[in-house]
A and B are shown apart, each in its own frame.
Chain A
């Protein structure tokens, strides 16, 4: 059973981490609380469904097209709804909630409340000491690690990453130093939405595509970023695995209460915050910057 818990926790944690990293990036770098992040993830999922099932495109091509289109949509949303009010964090928060609701209604009107599915990129499963794991889950696990390393490298080892971090540290000074802060913010949004869309591409074969599919990941993602420390990518990654393992433990140790797995995971978050209010990596990330 221990092996089952480890495998299941790793898979859940990876999926959550994939979602939380993009959200954390735009929050940490551009100070944008993008509630529409998971709605854009849902948009990518629907676009993949449209491309692969309705238009008959090869799945990989549908995924690539969905990522590009979602990024474009994200940039349009940023320019129209976020950029004009970017200095007012509360207004941004409300605007992104509105965007998320609009996307939900658009998909509800277009596809109804039907539950839709997309086939996995890799079919089949692997058995490790009696515990089964699908290749698609393994892929999600591997890609989440690759994405984390990639994002870390991008932020810490490239000039563009340096620009993003310095803009986040002090927008005015960065501007005085000659950086085009608006372009940097736009780039950050593009990267963040791209991550959401890629997450959608990786995760969509594992879940059901429907118009309210953005809500549950949003709650878990917010819990993860708060647990990990607002804006900390490492914190999001660690937080995702903590909540993932908490969920798995509930199902295995308390089968009758398996519906409580979300509440238990969120309770773990509250407990951690009581001990460390800034979150797991909150301070260290600030110092890092």
Chain B
């Protein structure tokens, strides 16, 4: 009996030694924050998942003398439906799940609150969704408090506006050339939302004064309008050649679909977040063809990483990555910064993130003094995409400031627009 007990004790001891959980380095916990029931949240999660799998497959992150794997924590902020939900989810990620880093966020109003919670806890939060400049202005105003915030994607709304006007100029040049039009008439259509107000104001001032165009009217439908036929009829009556859009909500889908159904004789260009999604073609029944939008990713060679990431994402999740899938790059940035810092200490990692200069899936990543992503021909430019024959293709930059990404195709005017205006 004694012998049996002795053997049992030895076996148990050996089992404990084999298990040895105490010797394994604890994983680095990264909270992925987003509205998980919606496309944007799915993008956050999917991008982070791919990056975590790749990093873990290569033994994880080298922190000082040990390798640590990544453990993702899915944080459903539900920020489309409830900002308090986003607040609670962020609190829980920090206090209960004890995340080391945070990535994601989408709606500016929600991200502002999430940002404050993260800053209080001195957690690095890499924004991958909200575009409002204020999120980064806070860093310059109160560096010590907000230095843990970085925005990776998208480019801020001021830069988005610049790309928006560049796309408009591209379409206008082509219309003048192809149709022999002298002065173009533009209808401004923007959803009634705070983020769109500066773009509308800038368009109303810039188009007549600097771009030589006539503004025939400004329409501000609700972000969730289910019918835009009246707006489209009024735009056609106003004789617009181009519709300059600013949409981030479901109205973008309705508008593009009905624009195609009614074959309104005006090119459709601007920001239309719905048209950045793979499901746009199916949801509009193909009627959204020729819609042009500012975008972040398409299957073009922005860097060597873009197409492999795009294809892998498409194969795995059966849809193209949208800009919130920038969490993929965010995780690699964290890996690089932690390895250089040799620690997960937030202050040390911030110092390394501030030095980042890397070619990632959406372009060259360099953070400016406000911890915002730098925009420009030598950095991230963003792209312009157009739906052509069921595919979302890159049409801009196509020679702008000498930048053309391999795989870019020429922009096409809708045939019914050409037919209508051809002299």
Contact = CB atoms under 8 A, between A and B. Distances in A.
Contacts of B258: 134
28 contacts: A1-B234, A12-B227, A15-B227, A112-B37, A113-B35, A113-B39, A114-B38, A116-B279, A120-B285, A125-B263, A130-B237, A132-B264, A134-B261, A205-B285, A207-B254, A208-B254, A208-B283, A216-B226, A247-B230, A248-B230, A251-B234, A255-B218, A256-B220, A258-B221, A258-B222, A258-B230, A259-B192, A259-B225
A109 B76 CA distance: 13
Contacts of B237: 1, 4, 130
A137 interface: yes
Contact of B38 (A4, A112, A248, A262): A112
A247 B229 CA distance: 11
Given A132-B233, A251-B219, A259-B220, A117 B37 contact: no
A4 B236 CA distance: 10
Given A8-B229, A113-B37, A248-B230, 9 more contacts: A12-B230, A112-B37, A114-B279, A116-B282, A125-B261, A132-B236, A207-B227, A247-B230, A252-B234
Interface residues of A, number: 44
Contact of A259 (B222, B229, B230): B222
Nearest to B229: A8
Contacts of A261: 222, 230
Interface in A93-130: 108-109, 112-120, 125, 130
B226 A207 contact: yes
B217 interface: yes
Contacts of B282: 53, 116-117
Contacts of A247: 230
Interface string A194-222: 00000000000111101001001000000
A247 B222 CA distance: 12
A131 interface: yes
A12 B224 CA distance: 16
Given A116-B283, A255-B217, A256-B220, A11 B229 contact: yes
Nearest to A131: B233
A115 B250 contact: yes
A206 B227 contact: yes
Interface in A153-206: 205-206
Contacts of A113: 35, 37-39, 80
B274 interface: yes
B132 interface: no
Nearest to B233: A4
B353 to A, nearest CB: 31
Contact of B253 (A15, A131, A208, A216): A208
A109 B250 CA distance: 19
Interface of A: 1, 4, 7-8, 11-12, 15, 53, 108-109, 112-120, 125, 130-132, 134, 136-137, 205-208, 210, 213, 216, 247-248, 251-252, 255-259, 261-262
Contacts of A213: 226
Contacts of A119: 285
Q: Chain A interface mostly helix, strand, loop or mixed?
A: helix
B298 to A, nearest CB: 20
A122 B104 CA distance: 42
Contacts of A118: 285
Interface of B: 35, 37-39, 42, 80, 191-192, 217-222, 224-227, 229-231, 233-234, 236-237, 250, 253-254, 257-258, 261-264, 274, 279, 282-285
B283 A117 contact: yes
Q: Which of B37, B227, B230, B258 has the most CB of A within 10 A?
A: B230
A115 B236 contact: no
B233 to A, nearest CB: 4
Given A4-B234, A109-B37, A115 B219 contact: no
Nearest to A262: B222
Nearest to B282: A117
Contact of A216 (B191, B192, B224): B224
The 8 closest A-B pairs by CB, nearest first: A113-B38, A259-B192, A251-B230, A117-B283, A119-B285, A259-B222, A4-B233, A255-B219
A270 to B, nearest CB: 19
Contacts of B218: 255-256
A209 B250 CA distance: 10
Contacts of B80: 113
Nearest to B262: A132
Nearest to A249: B230
Contacts of A109: 37
B220 A257 contact: yes
A44 to B, nearest CB: 16
Contact of A112 (B39, B226, B253): B39
Given A208-B254, A258-B231, A115 B226 contact: no
Given A255-B218, A256-B218, A114 B39 contact: yes
Contact of A8 (B230, B283, B284): B230
A182 B107 CA distance: 49
Contacts of A207: 226-227, 254
Contact of B250 (A1, A7, A208, A248): A208
A115 B279 contact: yes
Given A117-B257, A119-B285, A210 B39 contact: no
Q: Which of A11, A12, A207, A213 has the most CB of B within 10 A?
A: A207
A117 B231 contact: no
B226 A258 contact: no
Nearest to A118: B285
Contacts of B233: 4, 7-8, 131-132, 252
Q: Which of B192, B220, B233 has the most CB of A within 10 A?
A: B233
A258 B227 contact: no
A130 B233 CA distance: 9
Nearest to B281: A117
A133 B284 CA distance: 17
